[in-house]
Structures are given as structure tokens and as C-alpha cells.
Homo-oligomer: A and B are copies of this chain.
Amino acid sequence: MTEDSDRHAKKMAKKKAARDKIMATKTGEKGLVIVHTGKGKGKSTAAFGMIFRCIAHDMPCAVVQFIKGGMSTGERDLILSTFADRCRFHTMGEGFTWETQDRERDIEMAQAAWEKAKELIRDPDFRMVLLDEINIAIRYGYIDAAEVVAFLAAEKPEMTHVVLTGRNAAEEVIEAADLVTEMELVKHPFRSGIKAQIGVEF
């Protein structure tokens, strides 16, 4: 072993010892309230990644799409065609709210999605329930943040993970969550005239 690699081995051994010590204290298990927010990409994509992880582990899960982008249909089709036995899928919205221009209908849609979400979360068979883009529905005032937080505290089964995505997550929701990630936009190709592309955005 060279001196350099010896130093490296010592450094890594120290890191490993520190990490093992920390990990030994992490013994709890519980259903988490997980929030993906921020202006960057990957909020829904990472949430769907967790849904695919659940599918991989044969953990029953469910998705409620609060706002249909009209584009992110890849995952939806794959789930419906291949994994309908393991994942329930509900698309409740009818396009982004700025494409409908009808506040009453948007509220009705969002409320219907929230009722469906509550029903799925109450069912302890589901190990993960993804509420996709619910943060936007809350932000627009279509669903009450305090009601969402109160419901999760009172009725979410202990072992169920609930994932809430969408930019501008409400302060109350972040407060109530166990795991919050903010996706920050560092650089985006839209700025140089590149359109949304298959496989990347949808």
C-alpha cells in the first residue's frame, strides 16, 4: 500500500465508524409525511420513483393526481398497464388550473380528489399514498392546509407513508412533515429554447 492509499484507508475507516455509530441510533420505523417542493424539477418524478420502489417491494400503494399536467402520462400508463395490481391510480384534475379558468369547477375537482385521498389514506392496506401536486391545490385555496394537516395527524395509519408534491408547499404542511426536500432550479434548458421532451418531462 502506498502512503497515499494508506491515508485514504484510515480516513475511510474513520468515516465508516462515524457513520455506523450514527446509523445504530436510527432504529425507529414509522409512516412518514414526505413533502417535495421548490421550483426545480424532480418533485413528482422522485415521488413516482418511490411509488416504483414500493411496487418493486410488493407494497400496495396509491396515487391521486390533483392536477393533471396533460403530459406526465408516462408513469401513469406504465402503472395502469403493468402494475395495476399493486398501485391504485386516480387522476382527478382536468389540466392545470390556468388552462380551465373556472374556479368553481377547479374547487370541486380538488375537493373530490381530497375525498378520494382521505379514503385511500384511511385504508391501512396501502403502504404509501402519493398526493401529486396537492400543494398547488392548497396554494390556490381549493383545499385547506389546516384540514390536510389535521387529517394526517388524526387518521393516517401509523405505518403509511404519505407524499405531498408541488411547489409552494404551505408552511403548515412543511411544519407537519417528517421529510421535506426542496428541489432548487439551478439551470433549465427552457431558457435556451428547448421544449419539454419525452422521457425527461413526460
Residues of chain B lying within 8 A (CB to CB) of residue A102: 5, 9
- Taking a contact as CB atoms under 8 Å apart, the answer to whether B161 and A199 are in contact is yes
Known: A59-B198, A78-B55. A101 touches B9 (CB 8 A): yes
Instruction: Give the contacts of A177-202 with B (CB-CB under 8 A).
Output: 177-190, 192-200, 202
- Taking a contact as CB atoms under 8 Å apart, the answer to whether B187 and A180 are in contact is yes
Task: Please tell me if A13 contacts chain B, counting CB pairs below 8 Å.
Answer: yes
Residues of chain B lying within 8 A (CB to CB) of residue A202: 53
- Taking a contact as CB atoms under 8 Å apart, the answer to whether A8 and B103 are in contact is yes
- Taking a contact as CB atoms under 8 Å apart, the answer to whether B57 and A50 are in contact is no
Instruction: Give the contacts of A30-61 with B (CB-CB under 8 A).
Output: 30, 32, 34-36, 38, 40-50, 52-57, 59, 61
- Taking a contact as CB atoms under 8 Å apart, the answer to whether B193 and A27 are in contact is yes
8 Å CB contact of A189 from B40, B77, B100, B179: B179
Task: Please tell me if A26 contacts chain B, counting CB pairs below 8 Å.
Answer: yes
Q: Determine the distance from Cα of A50 to Cα of B28 in the docked complex, in whole angstroms.
A: 31
Task: Please tell me if A29 contacts chain B, counting CB pairs below 8 Å.
Answer: yes
A interface residues, tally (CB under 8 Å) = 82
Q: Which stretch from A15-23, A110-118, A147-155 is at the chain B interface?
A: A15-23
8 Å CB contact of A200 from B50, B82, B100, B192: B50
Known: A16-B99, A179-B41, A199-B161. A194 touches B78 (CB 8 A): no
Q: Determine the distance from Cα of A89 to Cα of B202 in the docked complex, in whole angstroms.
A: 22
Can you list 11 A-B contacts with CB-CB less than 8 angstroms, sorted by A residue number? A27-B193, A34-B200, A45-B46, A46-B46, A49-B49, A55-B78, A57-B199, A59-B198, A177-B187, A179-B188, A181-B186
Given contacts A4-B103, A178-B187, 15 further A-B contacts (CB under 8 A): A5-B102, A8-B103, A12-B101, A26-B193, A26-B195, A28-B192, A28-B193, A29-B194, A30-B194, A48-B49, A56-B77, A56-B78, A57-B198, A180-B187, A183-B183
